[in-house]
Amino acid sequence: MTLPSHAQIVVIGGGIIGCSTAYHLARDHKADVVLLEMGQITSGSTWHAAGLVGQLRSSASITRVLKYSVELYKGLEAETGLATGWKMTGCLRLATNQDRWTEFRRTATTAKSFGMDMHLLSPEETRAMFPLMDVSDLVGASWLPTDGQASPSDITQSLAKGARMHGAKLFENVRVTGFEMQGRRIVAVKTDQGDIACDKVVNCAGQWARQVGAFAGIDVPLQPVKHQYVITEKIPGLSTDAPTIRDPDRRTYFKEEVGGLVFGGYEPNPQPWTTGDVPNDWQFRLFDDDYDHFEQHMTQAIERIPALAEVGVKQMINGPESFTPDGNFILGAAPECANMFVGAGFNAFGIASGGGAGWVLAQWTVDGEAPLDLWVVDIRRFSKLHRDRDWVRDRTLEAYGKHYTIAYPHEEYQSGRPYIVSPLYERLKACRAVFGSKLGWERPNWFAPSVVAAEDVYSMGRQNWFGPVGDEHRLVREKVGIFDQSSFAKYELAGADAQKALDWICANDVSKPVGRLTYTQLLNSRGGIEADLTVARLGEDRFYIVTGTGFRTHDLAWIEDHIGAGLDARLTDVTEQFGTLSLMGPRARDVLAAVTDADVSSEAFPFGHVREIDIAGTTVRALRVTYVGELGWELHVPIEATGVVFDALMKAGEGHGIRPVGYRALESLRLEKGYRAWGSDITPNDTPFEAGLGWAVKLRKNTDFSGRRALEAVAGQPLKKRLACFTVDDPKIVLLGRETILRDGQPVGYLTSGGYGYTVEKNIGYGYVRNAEGVSDEFLAGGTYELVVAMETVAAKLHIEALYDPNAERVKG
């Protein structure tokens, strides 16, 4: 077949992700699709994948994506006539210690929150389901009956045939050699057999996705890692419908195949492949068998299933799989290019993810925005940091090594640190700061008293920082604390049309006088919340925008993408130009007044305003705003003067008990006050009305903005879900999020975030209460509530208003 000269959408890569994307583009959107594969369909890493299909993740949206895969695989053979090898065998996950068992109980609760039926089994029940297993060391197991397995090559060929049936054109043995660019847009795909003009490109090139992206200046942070498994000869007594097994404490997995077993694992000492380009001729190729490295899995597998000691090995598979620095796959619109979308880096979950990932990626490509909350896999969660291939390799290997370790709450990665530090790093370290890391920035999570080790000690219950964080929390409530938030992402938008651009981008009204600031959401076309940030007006044609550390790339790209064509509005990332010190607490004004000649009284400097003031000989942008529910200012300081200003504030605050405070206290403070956190409490799945943020939407103004039509369509109608606060008195309970909400004994939602409020002395959680007929105040107040926490039902109280509301004098006076 001759390549066409033009296509609406070109998909690069003929593995399961590319074929699934082409299938959904053709089936659901009737798009003119061309798929290019430089070898043969499945010839990259798809053909040697193990083929386990699990569904449950900590994200409801990603779980939905994986559940879709299962539904698709069930019916694909009937549509295309090609077998997929799909078997719904169910999956057993084994626990050999109490921490793992607690993790499973929490996971089972999450499953129920997401509408899945996960069971917890005794060792005896587990052995009955897989009689060849030694269960003598088990505490128990979880059982998800709808998980299963598939043949990777068969399912991909079936998707490829389905794509062709719906009109897609698939070409093998065609290698992409580059792109013709016009500015930030790809206008043609260059290949070794001619060019194809196109409107959009979807990069599903697997382990080659990084170098394909590089043709358009796009960074796809992947690291190929050698992943091994073996296929055994037939095992007497092994049922053909035996469940798949994940044995995380032994770092191994198993599935039945033709009467034998496939088994492999995730070792703590993984072997990376190249940090350079993957060779173009690496198709249907493997590495040499490495039994020395695999011995650790072989030993553990035989101990779990003793029959393996008597069975021969039919084949060892040692092939590269693409892994990512955080263990989540990569989807979405590349920030560096206006029309490339990416689906890559599936961390050996490509078969489980393939059907659903192709479904959402096709929708994303056609609409230009994600069809649901896919933030945890969005390519815009990365930053320039991820162009450092050595850093990506080291962090990816750490993530690979954690694949089967216990997922302790609040656990931090350790590799590649410190990478970015604020000017206060050494000062805070001297104050016994225990740092965490966010998008490469070192940030103090908490400060250890001299009698406590300055390190996190992870556990499934209260962790070692619980008491010290409570002291920091009370300091901010009663006196004054200072937070180093220099990692905040910061942009400036300037130009004659800056306000006009923001009028469309922002849901709230930013057309306020110079010196005012606005808290606002940025909405997608469905009215869902794509970002949550602060906009300060510095001049008639100049705005200062502040958002969360982790959202730097995402929010910058969202704003850039939504500036109207032809407008004079220039967006600049100024994150590294300013340090940020948040001075918070009832004595904050006393401290600030001592270091500046500016009038910081409530009359001269009201809440919601921005002023330039002088501190220690430095001009500082002072924003009167709070995320903790106390009097306070964010002080944005020229980065080189951050230390000088910090020292001046600390000296002035000595008589008021000032101390530096960390991010874990910030979290408990905001929970008490009811401030929302983007990515958990508010997401692209949630509207401001549902989140209780309708007051921040300018529907009463005759100004169009992104998402307005969607909100107008539901304005005044009963809300089918609403965010509410819940408290639990039992001090032994630990709320983390994903706990099921029961109303009168029936599930109505799950917590989106959880923690502890030290002022109110209660566990606090936020979550959406759902009811198809509407969630009114009367409905919320009329129920009796409980939470399911690690499969234990505990009494809870619902609150519509914030738990903590300091008197007006302390906030405004």
Residue at 368: amino acid letter:
G
In sequence order, which residues have a C-beta less than 8 Å from that of residue 527 and are 6 or more positions away? Answer: 687, 688, 707, 710, 711, 714
CB-facing half-sphere around the CA of 382: CA atoms within 13 A: 29
Contact 699/690 with Cβ under 8 angstroms?
A: no
pLDDT digits (tens, 9 = 90+) for 751-792: 999 999 999 999 999 999 999 999 999 999 999 999 999 999
Q: Domain coordinates of the chain in residue numbers?
A: 6-84+150-223+326-381, 91-148+224-320, 420-450, 489-573, 578-657
Note the pLDDT of residue 224. 96
Res 807: pLDDT: 59
DSSP state for residue 249 in the 8-state scheme: G
pLDDT at 767: 98
Tally of CB atoms within 10 A around 614:
12
CA distance 797 to 488: 34
Contact 710, 723 (CB under 8 A): no
Alpha-carbon distance of 325 to 327, in angstroms, equals: 6
d(Cα 153, Cα 756) in Å, to the nearest integer?
48
- Which of 386, 376, 274, 372 is CA-nearest to residue 336? 386
**What CATH class does 489-573 carry?**
alpha beta
pLDDT at 48: 73
Amino acid identity at 358: G
What per-residue confidence (pLDDT) applies to 808? Answer: 37
429: which 2 tokens? 């370290």
pLDDT < 50 regions, the chain: 808-813
Architecture of domain 6-84+150-223+326-381: 3-Layer(bba) Sandwich (3.50)
Give me 465's structure tokens.
């920082």
Nearest partner of 455 among 412, 421, 398, 406, judged by Cα: 412
- Cβ 483 vs Cβ 582: under 8 Å: yes
Angle 503-485-376 from CA coordinates, rounded to 5°: 70
Q: Are 458 and 410 in contact (CB under 8 A)?
A: yes
Q: Which residues contact 282 (CB under 8 A, 6 or more apart)?
A: 44, 207, 320
Specify the pLDDT at position 811. Answer: 33
pLDDT at 630: 96
Q: Would you call 139 helix, strand, or coil by DSSP?
A: coil
Q: Kindly state the DSSP code that residue 683 receives in the 8-state scheme.
A: -
The token pair at 571 is: 């967006």
Q: What would the pLDDT profile of 564-586 be if each residue is shown by its tens digit?
A: 999 999 999 999 999 999 999 99
E strands, 386-465, in order: 433-438, 441-447
Would you give the DSSP letter of residue 46? G
Q: Nearest 5 degrees, angle CA 240-CA 57-CA 685?
A: 135
Please say whether the beta carbons of 639 and 578 come within 8 A: yes
Q: What is the pLDDT of residue 812?
A: 28
Integer Cα distance of 791 and 770 in angstroms: 20
Angle of the 663-673 helix axis to the 466-478 helix axis, nearest 10: 60
DSSP assignment string, 459-513: -SSS-TTHHHHHHHHHHHHHS-EEEE-TTSEEEEEESTTHHHHHHHHBSS---PP
Is residue 184 classed exposed, middle or buried when 0-12, 13-18 and 19+ CB atoms within 10 A define those classes?
A: middle
Rounded distance between C-alpha atoms, residue 215 and residue 222, angstroms: 15
Cβ neighbourhood burial of 8 (10 Å; 0-12, 13-18, 19+): middle
Tokens for 246? 């994940």
Token output for 140: 């128990």
Question: How far is C-alpha 394 from the chain's CA centre?
Answer: 20
Look up the CATH superfamily of 578-657. Answer: Probable tRNA modification gtpase trme; domain 1 (3.30.1360.120)
Other Cβ atoms less than 10 A from the Cβ of 372: the count is 19
Helix/strand/coil percentages in the chain, nearest 5: 30, 30, 40
Q: How far is CA 266 from the centre of its chain?
A: 22
Using CA of residue 454, residue 248, residue 144, residue 81, what is the dihedral sign? positive
Upstream peptide bond of 224 is cis (omega within 30 degrees of 0): no
Rounded Cα–Cα distance for residues 288 and 273 (Å): 13
Question: Would you identify the CATH topology of the domain 91-148+224-320?
Answer: D-Amino Acid Oxidase; Chain A, domain 2 (3.30.9)
Identity of the residue numbered 697:
V
Q: Using an 8 Å Cβ cutoff, are 348 and 264 in contact?
A: no
For residue 430, give every residue at least 6 positions away whose Cβ sits within 8 Å of its Cβ, in sequence order, or none: none
Helix axes 60-80, 350-367, angle to 10 degrees: 100
H-state helical runs in 219-332: 291-304
What are the backbone angles phi and psi of residue 566, rounded to the nearest 5°?
80, 0
Taking only Cα atoms into account, the Rg of the chain, rounded to an integer number of angstroms, comes to 27
HSE, side-chain direction, 13 A CA sphere, residue 411: 14
